[in-house]
Amino acid sequence: MVAAVTRATQTLLLAVTGAVLLRMAAGDAYLRYVNSWMRWPLIACGVLLIVLALADLWRDQGSQDDGHDAHVPRAAWLLFAPSLVFFLIAPPALGAHFAERAQNAVVPIKEASEVSLPPLPEGDPVALTLDDVLFRAAYDDGATLADRRLELTGFVSRDKSGTWYVTQFGINCCAADATVMRIAASGVEAPPDDQWVRVVATHVPGTGDGGVEPPEVTIEQIEPIEAPKNQYS
């Protein structure tokens, strides 16, 4: 039998939850779970929850009226769970384990209309985002990528057949709606899963056409890098 949540424990619940939200938003931790524009709403919520807890302490000075509205559902205990999970497991940003199961990012293909992509910017190698590569590879057999050295960043993930990918997640609201962008890599030995890498590579012509299968690249250079602050795009 679960004990009823007393009023004092409710106050503690509010304070702990508020403090955890502030702790997340004060550093970069919140970027592992939600989009960057959530920072200020999270700070506002954290402050409000702490104000609610403080207002109650102040009120309780004059009254020991704990039976007042202590009858809250026992499910309220569960509100401790996210705070504890945050501190004890310290959930990382989504990584290779989820990459194999997540939805592929959609490449908006408009079949009827003629698309003329602008040529790649100057530079050798030229730095591109993964969704840019997916998009360009999906049209005209990747004509705009032909004969160029591309600089890509992402983390390492693998599929069941052992192919490894330069990978990133894109999120819209939070990590629950993450879609995965993967580019199959060959030419070098795969680093361990979840290692962030910067690679210089060339697109294998014809791969990734139509946006169904992931495009492939042949890697010339690879260097391990630190994971960026915001690991989602």
Could you say which residues in the range 118-137 bind another protein, by CB under 8 A? Answer: none
In whole angstroms, the minimum distance from the beta carbon of 132 to another protein comes to 17
Beta-bridged to residue 127, according to DSSP, are 151
Q: Is 82 in the site for another protein (CB under 8 A)?
A: yes
Residue type, 63: S
HSE, side-chain direction, 13 A CA sphere, residue 200: 10
In whole angstroms, the minimum distance from the beta carbon of 87 to another protein comes to 6
Among the listed ranges 130-138, 146-154, 171-179, 196-204, the one in contact with another protein (CB under 8 A) is 171-179
Compute the distance between CA of residue 46 and CA of residue 25 in angstroms, rounded to an integer.
9
Whether residue 94 contacts residue 174, with contact meaning beta carbons closer than 8 Å, is answered with no
Residue type, 15: A
Q: Is 19 in the site for another protein (CB under 8 A)?
A: no
Q: Is 209 in the site for another protein (CB under 8 A)?
A: no
**Residue from 26, 65, 123, 143 that binds another protein (CB under 8 A)?**
65
Calculate ∠ Cα 70-74-76, nearest 5°.
85
Closest to another protein by CB, 42 or 199 = 42
Q: Is 115 in the site for another protein (CB under 8 A)?
A: no
**H-state helical runs in 89-191:** 96-99, 130-138
Residue with tokens 């524009």: 37
**Residue from 72, 120, 188, 204 that binds another protein (CB under 8 A)?**
72
Closest to another protein by CB, 94 or 156 = 94
Q: Is 230 in the site for another protein (CB under 8 A)?
A: no
In whole angstroms, the minimum distance from the beta carbon of 71 to another protein comes to 7
Residue closest to 175 by CA, chosen among 90, 86, 102, 74: 102
Q: Could you give the dihedral angle defined by the CA atoms of residues 140, 141, 143 and 149, in that order, rounded to the nearest 10 degrees?
A: 150
Among the listed ranges 86-94, 145-153, 160-168, 214-222, the one in contact with another protein (CB under 8 A) is 86-94
